[in-house]
Structure 1
Amino acid sequence: MRRWRWLETGLRRVRQGWLPVVEATLAATIAWMLATRLVGHPQPFFAPAAALIVLGQARGQRTRRAVEVVLGVAAGVLVADLVVQALGPRTTWTVFTVILLTVTLAVAIGASSVSVVQAAVSALYLVVVSPPTESLVPFRFVDALIGGAVALAASQLIDARRPLAPLVAEFRQTFRELGDLLEEIAAALDHDDERAALAALERARRADAAVQRLRDAVLAAGEAVRLNVRRRRHLGRLRSVDASIRQIDYVVRNVRVLARAGVTLTRHPAAIPADLPTAVRGLAEAVRAGGEALAADLTGADTDADRHAARAEEAALTAVRVAGRLFLPRPTLPLAMIIGQVRATAIDLLRGLATDDDPTVLDRVDEAIGLATR
Structure 2
Amino acid sequence: MSGVREGRRRVGPAVRAAAGRLRRGWLPVVEATLAATVAWMLATRLVGHPQPFFAPAAALIVLGQARGQRIRRAVEVVLGVAAGVLVADLVVQALGPRTTWTVFTVILLTVALAVAVGASSVTVVQAAVSALYLVVVSPPTESLIPFRFVDALIGGAVAVVASQLVDARRPLAPLVAEFRHTFRELAGVLDEVADALDHADDEAALAALDRARHADAGVDRLRDAVQAAGEALRLNVRRRRHLGRLRSVAGSIRQIDYAVRNVRVLARAAVTVTRGDAPVPTDLGAAVRTLADAVRAAGDALAADLNGAEETADGHAARADAAALAAVRSVGRLFAAGPTLPLALVIGPVRATAIDLLRGVGVDDDATVLSRVDAAVTGPER
Given the two structures, how large is their TM-score scaled by the length of structure 1?
0.93
Please, which runs of 5 or more residues in structure 1 have no aligned partner? Answer: none
- 2:27 corresponds to which residue? 19
Cα distance in 2 for residues equivalent to 1:311 and 1:193 = 30
Identity of aligned residues (%): 78
The reply on whether 1:58 has 2:53 as its aligned counterpart is no
Q: Which residue of 1 aligns with 2:175?
A: 167
* Alpha-carbon offset, residue 104 of structure 1: 4.0
Correspondent of 2:282 among 267, 274, 278: 274
State yes or no: 1:177 paired with 2:185: yes
Deviations 1:201-240 (A, max 9, x none): 1111111111111111111111111222222212212222
In 1: Cα distance, 2:117 partner to 2:236 partner: 27
Matched, 1:34 2:47: no
Q: Decide which moves more: 346-355 or 277-286.
A: 346-355
Query: 1:285 aligns to what?
Result: 293
| Count of residues in Structure 1 that have an aligned counterpart in Structure 2 | 372
Q: Are the aligned partners of 1:248 and 1:352 in contact in 2 as well (CA < 8 Å)?
A: yes
Q: Are 1:334 and 2:338 matched, yes or no? A: no
For residue 313 of structure 1, report the CA deviation from its aligned partner.
Answer: 0.8
**Structure 1 segment 205-224 matched on structure 2, within 5 A:** 205-224=213-232
Q: How many angstroms apart in 2 are the aligned matches of 1:45 and 1:124?
A: 13
Aligned-pair Cα RMSD in Å: 2.0
Structure-2 residue corresponding to 1:308: 316
Q: 2:256 aligns with which of 242, 248, 271?
A: 248
Tell me the TM-score normalised to structure 2 length: 0.92
What are the superposed Cα offsets for residues 311-355 of structure 1, whole Å, 9 maximum, x if unpaired?
A: 111111111122211113552211122122212111111011106
Match of 1:258 in 2: 266
- 1:128-148 Cα deviation digits (max 9, x unpaired): 123555736631221111111
Contact 2:58 2:152 survives alignment (8 Å): yes
1:44 aligns with 2:23: no
Distance 1:357 1:151 in 2: 43
2:351 maps to amino acid: R
Cα deviation, residue 86, structure 1: 6.0
Q: Distance in 2 between matches of 1:130 and 1:356?
A: 64
Q: d(CA) in 2 for partners of 1:68 and 1:114? A: 7
The one-letter amino acid of 2:78's match is V
| Aligned-partner Cα distance in 1 for 2:64–2:270 | 43
1:115 CA drift (Å) = 2.3
Residue number in structure 2 paired with 1:126: 134
2:107 aligned residue? 99
User: 1:251 offset after TM fit, Å?
Assistant: 0.9
Structure 1 residues 60 and 200: alpha-carbon distance in aligned structure 2, compared to 1, 3 A threshold: same
Letter in 1 for 2:68: G
Distance of 2:357 and 2:61 partners within structure 1: 40
Which SS does the other structure have where 1:364 is aligned? helix
For each residue in 1:40-90, what CA deviation from the matched residue of structure 2 results, as whole angstroms up to 9, or x when unmatched? 111111111111111111112222122112211233134434544665421
Paired residues of 2:85 and 2:145 also in contact (CA < 8 A) = no
Q: For the Cα contact (< 8 Å) 1:61–1:220, is it kept in 2?
A: yes
